Amino acid sequence: MPSPTSSGAITSVLQETRVFPPPAEFARAAHVSSLEQYQELWNRAKDDPEGFWAEQAGRLISWFKPWDRVLDWNPPFAKWFEGALVNASYNCVDRHCEGPNKNKAALIWEGEPGDRRVLRYQDLQREVARFANVLKGLGVRKGDVVALYLPMIPELVVAALACARIGAPHTVVFGGFSAEALAGRIQDCKAKVLVTADGGYRRGKVVPLKENADGAAAVCPTLQHVVVYRRTGLDVAWSHGRDHWWHELEANASAVCPPEPVDSEHPLFILYTSGSTGKPKGILHTTGGYLVGTALTTQWVFDIKDDDTYWCTADVGWVTGHSYLVYGPLALGATCVMFEGAPNWPDEGRFWKIIEDYRVTILYTAPTAIRAFMKWGEQFPRRHDLSSLRLLGSVGEPINPEAWMWYHKVIGGGRCPVVDTWWQTETGAIMISPLPGATPTVPGSATRPLPGIVPEVVTKDGTPVGVNEGGFLIVKQPWPSMLRTIYGDDDRYKAQYWSDIPGSYFTGDGARRDENGNFWIMGRVDDVLNVAGHRLSTMEVESALVSHRAVAEAAVVGKPDDLKGQAIAAFVTLESGYAASEELRKELRNHVVKEIGALARPDDIHFTDALPKTRSGKIMRRLLRDIAAGVESGGDTSTLEDLSVMVRLRRFEQKAG
């Protein structure tokens, strides 16, 4: 592991001293309303984790049968609420239809072209039950994996909940991923059914999802059926017998489908995320614990009340969409805004218009978006009435204090608390974050661990570091929404998360804790990039590059980027017979897009005749990072096998610049 202090990510915030106590009025009405109350809850959970979690589980989730045991901890394998029977779809839909909320809006949806739909909880129940019957009709049984490759339309939520209803784990693949990336995921989890759409809208254009799905299906022998939702009217190829229109199947499906009680540890979903190798990992989440974790954090961190209109801007293709657009808020019976499009289409005021139109009270978005809004200018939000907002959230990467202040002032009018939420696909739910009625916030810091969460900053051998010293961020106790394993690969699960610091969960992040107990996340310490809040492995991009016939070797590093946090820089050596050219550079960029998706498109491609390597053949990424960022290399180069490589790389950069 490289040293977390070398990442140098947040030296600018070391001096941050502004503190924003919770507004008194906000605190008075909040679920957790003072720092003392928070501290009491945290202490209680630390001393008696099982008692604490049992209480939350009983309070927040409806169980068909109670558990025999709160936690069975056989490190690093956890079972939470063993023996209990539960259903996520029942908790997110049906139970809200039994009381006064049956006519409450569950989803307020706006499509990119401006079309609108509202699904009340009763509507959601009917749609989910029908689609669950559709899946059953296609032969999907409890335990069968269903892949969802859809645009941000209500049917994505409906399909996910329909899977949960019959105990079929879903794997959602972000619509921006390529056919190749989709195929890799379907092959890994052996999905039987794929649900997609003819296309989706993105900045006025149609993304050909069905075409990609066809490309994937051709190389996925486990796939028996493809269900296609008609969203755009785009002409699509059709494979008779395999392909089915959503609306045709649904027309014949009953709207009655009782939710299947499943074991608390029954798989709810698999979500792929990049690790430090070339192959994405299938993060497995199970039902009971995940529901408890997402419902609790939605309630405490977003302070959701019955009359809130809550908007999480994340795509359901990412974990943020899973936990904070679908499972957390719907488990609580909240009203969620869902938006299909981009923040700058048809203009840069789209988000603010949505907030004004629906009187959104809680907004949850990403630092990369906030930095783009800053760049576009205050005139866009100023044109809209944002006075309905009462709370702002941030997730995905460290938020720089300037962006935090802009968000607070320009969007929040100085009156809304900002919750900077640290968590991961693996943690399932928010781990470190202010509670908006209790925790004084500090721009740039995710502040404190939530009750039940015990993180620590340690050295390589697990020793706690001192105040304000950088180290590795670990979590010392299991928590209900933690990943259970990497799908189909328990060994990789152990090696990846539990072997660096034995007995503790290693997050892959560097952090420090200040004298007030606030955590400052310093970014990844492994070969994982964070590009616009999305995780990408350098190895994944390297594998994509070397799969091109012209490429002999590739090394990929991140470089600082004002908008995206990190941009992708690739260093490439060519096979003999190929010469560097602008055309080849373009071809390689497109090749990576084809292999992974547009989010992995390299920003820079540097052609070179050799890569800097140690004598044992390891690429010295540290040196490449410096070149990519255009800074002088400090530090040791004595382990370099061939020092002249660096000289040539530098010289080349000067020529190119």
Instruction: List 395's β-bridge partners, or say none.
Output: 421
Q: Which of residues 256-275 bind ligand WT7 (CB under 6 A)?
A: 273
Q: Which of 480, 522, 477 is nearest to 504 (CA)?
A: 477
- Tell me the H-state helices in 472-511: 490-497
530 binds ligand WT7 (CB under 6 A): yes
524 binds ligand WT7 (CB under 6 A): yes
Q: Where does this chain touch ligand WT7 (CB under 6 A) — which range of 214-222, 284-292, 503-511, 591-599?
A: 503-511
Supply the minimum distance, in Å, between the C-beta of residue 427 and ligand WT7: 7
327 binds ligand WT7 (CB under 6 A): no
* DSSP for 358-376, written as a single string: HT--EEEE-HHHHHHHHHH
325 binds ligand WT7 (CB under 6 A): no
319 binds ligand WT7 (CB under 6 A): yes
Cβ closest to ligand WT7, residue 155 vs residue 420: 420
State the virtual CA torsion across 316, 318, 323, 329 in degrees, nearest 10. -30
Return the residue of 123, 509, 540, 626 that touches ligand WT7, per CB under 6 A.
509
Binding-site size for ligand WT7 (CB under 6 A) equals 22
Supply the minimum distance, in Å, between the C-beta of residue 321 and ligand WT7: 9
443 binds ligand WT7 (CB under 6 A): no
Supply the minimum distance, in Å, between the C-beta of residue 367 and ligand WT7: 8
Supply the minimum distance, in Å, between the C-beta of residue 396 and ligand WT7: 4
Is 96 within 8 Å of 325 (Cβ atoms)?
A: no
401 SS3 class: helix
The conformation of residue 341, written as its DSSP 8-state character, comes to S
Q: Where does this chain touch ligand WT7 (CB under 6 A) — which range of 31-39, 233-241, 336-344, 392-400?
A: 392-400
436 binds ligand WT7 (CB under 6 A): no
Return the residue of 313, 424, 481, 496 that touches ligand WT7, per CB under 6 A.
424
252 SS3 class: coil
- Tell me the H-state helices in 153-286: 154-166, 179-189, 209-217, 246-251
Is 130 within 8 Å of 161 (Cβ atoms)?
A: no
Neighbour-count burial of 162, counting CB atoms closer than 10 A to its CB (0-12 exposed, 13-18 middle, 19+ buried): buried
β-pairing, 146-149 with 193-197?
parallel
Q: Where does this chain touch ligand WT7 (CB under 6 A) — which range of 84-92, 206-214, 347-355, 502-510?
A: 502-510
Supply the minimum distance, in Å, between the C-beta of residue 274 and ligand WT7: 8
Please tell me the distance from the alpha carbon of residue 605 to that of residue 607, in angstroms, as a whole number.
6
Return the residue of 151, 288, 349, 396 that touches ligand WT7, per CB under 6 A.
396
181 SS3 class: helix
397 binds ligand WT7 (CB under 6 A): yes
Supply the minimum distance, in Å, between the C-beta of residue 315 and ligand WT7: 11
Return the residue of 171, 212, 232, 507 that touches ligand WT7, per CB under 6 A.
507
β-pairing, 528-531 with 391-395?
unpaired
Is 588 within 8 Å of 605 (Cβ atoms)?
A: yes
Q: Which of residues 617-656 bind ligand WT7 (CB under 6 A)?
A: none
Hey, how many other C-beta atoms are within 10 angstroms of the C-beta on 222? Answer: 14
230 is in an annotated binding site: no
Return the residue of 508, 558, 597, 602 that touches ligand WT7, per CB under 6 A.
508
446 binds ligand WT7 (CB under 6 A): yes
For the chain, percent helix, then strand, then coil, each to nearest 5?
35, 25, 40
Return the residue of 196, 320, 447, 543 that touches ligand WT7, per CB under 6 A.
320
Q: Which two tokens stand for residue 581?
A: 């050219």
Return the residue of 89, 232, 400, 425 that touches ligand WT7, per CB under 6 A.
425
403 binds ligand WT7 (CB under 6 A): no
299 binds ligand WT7 (CB under 6 A): no
Q: Where does this chain touch ligand WT7 (CB under 6 A) — which range of 391-399, 569-577, 580-588, 607-615?
A: 391-399
Return the residue of 200, 333, 398, 597 that touches ligand WT7, per CB under 6 A.
398
Neighbour-count burial of 339, counting CB atoms closer than 10 A to its CB (0-12 exposed, 13-18 middle, 19+ buried): buried
524 is in an annotated binding site: yes
Q: Which two tokens stand for residue 258?
A: 């009782």
Please tell me the distance from the alpha carbon of residue 394 to that of residue 411, in angstroms, as a whole number.
13
202 is in an annotated binding site: yes
φ/ψ of residue 226, rounded to 5: -125, 120
527 binds ligand WT7 (CB under 6 A): no
List C-alpha distances in Å: 239 to 138, 211, 215, 246: 16, 12, 12, 15
420 binds ligand WT7 (CB under 6 A): yes
φ/ψ of residue 604, rounded to 5: -125, 140
626 is in an annotated binding site: no
| Residue whose beta carbon is closest to ligand WT7 | 425
Supply the minimum distance, in Å, between the C-beta of residue 94 and ligand WT7: 28
Q: Which of 495, 496, 502 is nearest to 476 (CA)?
A: 502
Cβ closest to ligand WT7, residue 113 vs residue 517: 517
Cβ closest to ligand WT7, residue 197 vs residue 531: 531
Q: b/e per residue, 74-106, with b = 16+ CB within 10 A?
A: eebebbbbbebbbbbbbbbbbbbbeeebeebbb
595 binds ligand WT7 (CB under 6 A): no
Supply the minimum distance, in Å, between the C-beta of residue 530 and ligand WT7: 6
Binding residues for CoA are: 202-205, 320, 344
Q: Which residues bind ligand WT7 (CB under 6 A)?
A: 273, 319-320, 395-398, 420-425, 446, 507-509, 521, 523-524, 530, 535
Binding residues for ATP are: 396-398, 420-425, 509, 524, 535
